């Protein structure tokens, strides 16, 4: 179906004063040259502890590890950049290492990690969020100048009146984290996948159920091969092996269908599934400044 593109005037970007001496300007502030093929940086956006097995539909002892991690991702393509998920605690709330808010803990803010790679929010062409839950959108407002890629049903849930299944406070949409995106240039999707750079290497997959317009991300690397970032289609590997759906999903039947569809896609494409919150799996992955390509 045809995608709708919202355009709004972007605010002017103030220029920083030039340093007196050339060597005083940090090299990491210069935007890196575009890579020859798509690459992915995994950034540390915190941990989640103390949630408990019952909240996800498990009985005590069924999970090997109840902890979760919260990565953020920078996708760099020869034709542009995209941020995928923006963390669990806003940078503005960072009070030092560690900073805690309920079950969330961060040891460093998000934007300085981007800066260390040579990128500022002004350098990011696209922002895409797997879904609207607070642990995935904490710094979304920083990217209001980017083009937002979102499913129409998700955007409606994020800014419209509550509709359908009631949600507990921790999973309800909170525009305080992402409200500035309402006026961003937006690619609005209609229950469909979206090829971000039109070459099959960065494809947003429509995987509803956890939220109305939940998304996962397919990446086709030249060296690493194909990978899918799960979003919250799965939180733990045991959800995948045991078929358990969290009770707080907006539509459990949709989640089951999305999982079945994605599993078929994984088999057909040969892609590996990276469960974003998966503690054991994430520990094995390279972290920025290293990258996958």
Give DSSP secondary structure letters for 214-283: -EEEEEEETTTEEEEE-TTS-SSHHHHHH----TT-S-HHHHHHHHHHHHHHHHHHTPEEE-TTBHHHHH
The average confidence (pLDDT) of the chain is 89
Give how many domains the chain has, as a whole number.
Answer: 1
Residue 76 or residue 18, greater confidence: 76
Provide the pLDDT confidence category of residue 166 given band limits of 50, 70 and 90: very low
Q: Is the pLDDT of residue 256 over 70?
A: yes
Q: What is the pLDDT of residue 192?
A: 98
- Is it the case that residue 253 has pLDDT exceeding 90? yes
CATH code assigned at 198: 3.60.15.10
pLDDT for the residue numbered 170: 63
| Average pLDDT of the segment spanning 128-133 | 98
Least confident of 31-40, 113-122, 207-216, 260-269: 31-40
The mean-pLDDT minimum among 8-12, 18-22, 93-97, 137-141 falls in 18-22
Look at residue 172 in the predicted model and tell me its pLDDT: 86
Q: Is residue 32 part of a domain?
A: no
Averaged pLDDT for residues 106-112 = 98
Range of the domain at 233: 37-283
Tell me the two tokens of residue 80. 């542009």
Examine residue 84 and state whether it is found in any structural domain, yes or no. yes
Q: Is the predicted pLDDT of residue 68 greater than 50, yes or no?
A: yes
State both tokens at 210.
Answer: 């956890």
What φ, ψ does residue 6 adopt, rounded to 5°? -90, 135
Tell whether 129 is covered by a domain.
yes
Residue 290 lies in a domain: no
Distances (CA, A) of 72 to 7, 114, 137, 205: 26, 10, 10, 17
Nearest to 80 by CA among 193, 201, 181: 201
Residue 17 falls inside a structural domain = no
Q: Is residue 134 part of a domain?
A: yes
Distance CA 105, CA 95 (A): 11
Q: What is the pTM of this model?
A: 0.88
Higher pLDDT, 222 or 14: 222
Q: What was the pLDDT predicted at 12?
A: 34
In a domain, 247, yes or no: yes
In a domain, 191, yes or no: yes
């Amino acid at each position: 179906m045809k995608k709708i593109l919202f355009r709004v005037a972007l605010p002017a970007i103030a220029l920083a004063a030039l340093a007196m001496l050339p060597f005083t300007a940090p090299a990491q502030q210069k935007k890196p040259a575009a890579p020859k093929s798509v690459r992915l940086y995994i950034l540390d956006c915190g941990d989640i502890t103390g949630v408990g097995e019952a909240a996800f539909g498990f009985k005590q002892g069924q999970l090997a590890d109840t902890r979760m991690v919260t990565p953020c991702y920078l996708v760099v393509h020869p034709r542009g950049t995209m941020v995928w998920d923006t963390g669990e605690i806003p940078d503005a709330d960072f009070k030092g290492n560690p900073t805690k808010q309920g079950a969330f803990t961060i040891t460093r803010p998000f934007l300085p990690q981007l800066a260390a790679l040579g990128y500022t929010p002004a350098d990011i062409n696209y922002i895409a969020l797997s879904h609207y839950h607070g642990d995935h959108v904490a710094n979304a407002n920083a990217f209001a100048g980017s083009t937002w890629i979102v499913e129409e049903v998700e955007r409606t849930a994020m800014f419209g009146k509550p509709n359908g299944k009631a949600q507990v406070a921790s999973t309800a949409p909170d525009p305080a984290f992402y409200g500035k995106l309402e006026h961003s240039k937006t690619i609005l999707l209609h229950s469909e996948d979206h090829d971000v750079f039109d070459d099959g290497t960065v494809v947003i997959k429509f995987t509803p159920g956890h939220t109305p317009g939940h998304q996962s991300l397919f990446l086709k690397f030249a060296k690493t091969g194909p990978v899918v970032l799960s979003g919250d289609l799965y939180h733990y590997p045991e959800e995948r092996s045991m078929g358990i759906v969290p009770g707080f999903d907006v539509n459990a039947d949709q989640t089951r269908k999305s999982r079945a569809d994605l599993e078929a896609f994984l088999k057909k494409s040969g892609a590996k599934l990276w469960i974003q919150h998966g503690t054991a799996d994430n520990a094995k992955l390279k972290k920025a400044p290293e990258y996958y390509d």
